[in-house]
């Protein structure tokens, strides 16, 4: 007798295989921890992030320059993306699992040291400030506008329009950061999620509903946007840093 259910078993077994629980927190520790260390080095060791028409995302907008400050110039900008990512609902999952083991994995016992400490979740400082994520989002949108300005500028060379490898990297970075910013859970709530009734005005789907639906689709991939944009910021800054250091010159595509 035919056994159609069995035909797919081999493939399904592969799909069912889970990685060990520690893989995800280990990745978070390495990737997020590595980025934070890199960011601290970038902020403390450099005061310039501009190479011709390219501006590093760590140094844009040039807030320090507006006030005539020439030291630790990145510091006046990086706090915005830092609080935006720190209070992000996706990153909360990652750092609570990776750095705090609250918990490290699903149904994985927390370390014995947690038993002696009262768990308060996001009720106490500093984690209760995560409730203000929307304000971090407002600031992140302002920074994003400047990053798009920098992206346009990255295509304008001394002799007019052109495309360099740096232009492409900054464009990809701006696109990924836009995806990350506008797939945000707080934005999803703001744009329409806080409404209970989407048709109560005239019986038809409201504009808020249409936007909420769209943002809900992007929101499903918020974690992917979060990682991709983190790596793109890293890559864009490192690329410009290497150009400034003279390690190589920017290849012009045309």
Q: Which residues bind other proteins (CB under 8 A)?
A: 3, 5-6, 9, 12-13, 16, 18, 89, 92-93, 96-97, 102-103, 106-110, 114, 119-123, 127-128, 131-134, 185-186, 188-189, 193-194, 196-200, 203, 205, 209, 219-220
Residue appearing with tokens 């844009």: 60
Could you tell me the smallest distance in angstroms from the CB atom of residue 113 to other proteins? 12
Among residues 71 and 197, whose Cβ is nearest to other proteins?
197
Could you tell me the smallest distance in angstroms from the CB atom of residue 203 to other proteins? 7
Could you tell me the smallest distance in angstroms from the CB atom of residue 169 to other proteins? 31
Look at the chain and count its residues: 254
| Residue 156, helix vs strand vs coil | strand
Residue appearing with tokens 């259910």: 5
Among residues 200 and 247, whose Cβ is nearest to other proteins?
200
Q: Burial of 161 by CB count in 10 Å (0-12 exposed, 13-18 middle, 19+ buried)?
A: exposed
Contact between 235 and 166 under an 8 Å Cβ cutoff? The reply is no
Residue 199 tokens read as 């048709």
Could you tell me the smallest distance in angstroms from the CB atom of residue 226 to other proteins? 13
Among residues 71 and 107, whose Cβ is nearest to other proteins?
107
- In angstroms, the CA 79 to CA 81 distance is 6
């Amino acid at each position: 007798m035919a056994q159609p259910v069995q035909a797919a078993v081999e493939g399904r077994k592969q799909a069912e295989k889970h990685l060990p629980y520690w893989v995800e927190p280990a990745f978070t520790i390495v990737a997020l921890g590595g980025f934070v260390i890199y960011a601290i080095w970038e902020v403390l060791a450099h005061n310039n992030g501009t190479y011709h028409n390219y501006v590093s995302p760590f140094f844009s907008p040039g807030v320090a320059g507006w006030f005539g400050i020439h030291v630790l110039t990145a510091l006046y900008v990086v706090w915005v993306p830092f609080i935006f990512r720190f209070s992000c609902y996706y990153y909360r999952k990652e750092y609570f699992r990776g750095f705090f083991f609250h918990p490290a994995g699903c149904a994985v016992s927390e370390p014995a040291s947690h038993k002696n400490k009262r768990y308060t979740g996001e009720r106490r400082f500093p984690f209760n400030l995560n409730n203000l994520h929307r304000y971090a989002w407002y600031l992140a949108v302002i920074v994003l506008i400047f990053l798009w300005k920098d992206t346009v500028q990255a295509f304008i060379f001394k002799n007019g329009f052109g495309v360099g490898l740096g232009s492409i990297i900054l464009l990809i970075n701006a696109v990924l950061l836009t995806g990350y910013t506008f797939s945000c859970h707080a934005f999803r709530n703001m744009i329409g999620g806080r409404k209970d009734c989407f048709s109560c005005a005239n019986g038809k789907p409201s504009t808020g509903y249409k936007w909420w639906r769209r943002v809900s689709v992007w929101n499903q991939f918020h974690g992917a946007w979060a990682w991709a944009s983190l790596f793109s910021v890293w890559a864009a800054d490192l690329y410009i840093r290497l150009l400034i250091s003279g390690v190589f010159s920017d290849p012009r595509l045309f």
